[in-house]
Amino acid sequence: MAAGKYTVVTRTAASQAAALAALALLVIAVALPAFASRSLIQDMFFILTMLTLAQFWNLLAGYGGLVSVGQQAFVGLGAYMLFGGAILWGVNPVAGLLLSGVFALLLAIPMAFFAFRLQGAYFAIGTWVVAEVVRLSVAQWKAVGGGTGTSLPRDARDAMWGVEWIEMIFDTRASAARDILAYWLALALAVATIGGIYLFLRTKRGLALAALRDNVEAARSVGVDSARMKWLVFLVAAFGTGIAGGLIFMQNGRISPDSAFSIIDWTAFVIFIVVIGGIGTIEGPIVGVLVFFALQTLLADFGAWYLMVLGGVGIAVMLFSPGGLWGLVSGRTGIELFPIRRRLNRRD
């Protein structure tokens, strides 16, 4: 192709600095188990899995306009398939994570078929109803403990790939080694999720997704295939959310329908994270999960006050900064940590 008068650039000085910082952080994060306490590893596991769930919900609602309050269906089913796989077929829990993702994806196909007929608030309620149906169905599954739930069998826990090796190199007990394994898997999942979403947004389809986020009617009239984008986003989010669900309960070691399909834990908190951080950006959920974790730690001793403060903070952010905390920062400074914006420059 002949070189034209203009070029397109996405890199910025801030983004290059951010890329270096991210690389350094990643190295530290991988090495963290060598010097961090077990409780810090567990906290980091929590942050990383919530971040993954938040990134997928942001992809759905922030970009795709699909405000689902039924993501706990994928967390729960994903978790139960990991347990079912281990108990019934002796599947190694680490391999079982793939079952989690695949079964969540299989659930998403009929769910989308049904829910995509609904718009806005009806879509939200529709997804919630589906999640409840799945919860009630799984509660009938006697092999995994029915309504009361079950634990991951001892032999499945002992068989987890990599645990023996971690025990050896870090010289720890098996339970601590399992936490380290779960932490590394959560780190890999979060990095793959953020990296995948970022790379996708830089493609032509990503451009269409950003256009849909801003204005559906206008996007349709300039040739964007909105139906196809919605399917794509819904299925990808289901797959990733299912894996995250499997991982959360693999680390937990115990499962019950009420905990695995909890709308508070896997959807309400996730919405909170995305909204206070900044919906429709990659940076938003990262900021949001840190604020959420800080609030949770600070308010751990105050019982029900904790939820009230979360609600109050959520309302305050929505009223005073609809773009979230990251929206405040980027609105004032124009900073982008994940450079997606295509800038047109004259070739000199």
Partner 1 sequence: MTPILSLQNVTKSFGALTVADGVSFDVPKGQALGIIGPNGAGKSTLFNLITGNLSPNAGRIEYDGRDVTKAPPMQRCLSGIGRSFQIPQPFDRMTVFENLLVSATHGRGLPERAVTDDCAEVLERTELIEVANRPAGGLTLLQRKRLEMARAMATRPKLLLLDEIAGGLTEAECVALVETIKAIHAEGVTIIWIEHVLHALNSVVERLLVLDFGKVIGIGAPDAIMASKEVREIYLGIEV
Shortest Cβ 281–partner 1 spacing (Å): 9
Q: Which of residues 224-283 bind partner 1 (CB under 8 A)?
A: 224-226, 280
Burial of 120 (0-12, 13-18, 19+ CB in 10 A): exposed
- Nearest CB to partner 1, comparing residues 255 and 282: 282
Q: Is 6 in the site for partner 1 (CB under 8 A)?
A: yes
CA angle 21, 237, 140 (to 5 degrees): 130
Going residue by residue from 157 to 196, which x/- string records binding to partner 1, judged by CB under 8 A?
Answer: ----------------------------------------
Which of 19, 220, 306, 328 touches partner 1 (CB under 8 A)? Answer: 220
Minimum Å gap between C-beta 3 and partner 1 is 9
Token pair of 146, please? 């029915």
Rg (CA), the chain: 21
Instruction: For residue 116, give the amino acid letter.
Output: F
d(CA 194, CA 199): 9
- Of 140, 204, 301, 332, the one binding partner 1 (CB under 8 A) is 204
Q: How far apart are CA 251 and CA 265, in angstroms?
A: 16
CB of 303 to partner 1, least distance (A): 39
Looking at the Cβ atoms of 226 and 252, the one nearer to partner 1 is 226
- 222 near partner 1, rule: CB under 8 A: yes
Which of 228, 254 has the CB closer to partner 1?
228
Q: Are 328 and 279 in contact (CB under 8 A)?
A: no
User: Is the dihedral angle over the CA atoms 28, 32, 35, 36 positive or is it negative?
Assistant: positive
Strand 150-151 and strand 6-9: pairing? unpaired
324-333 helix and 283-298 helix, angle to the nearest 10 degrees? 130
* CA 329 distance to own-chain centroid: 23
Q: Which is nearer to partner 1, 191 or 207 (CB)?
A: 207
Q: Which of 213, 259, 313, 321 binds partner 1 (CB under 8 A)?
A: 213
Using CB under 8 A, pick the residue from 161, 214, 302, 318 that binds partner 1.
214
Applying CB under 8 A, the residues found at the interface with partner 1 are 1, 4-8, 204, 207-208, 210-211, 213-215, 217-226, 280, 341-344
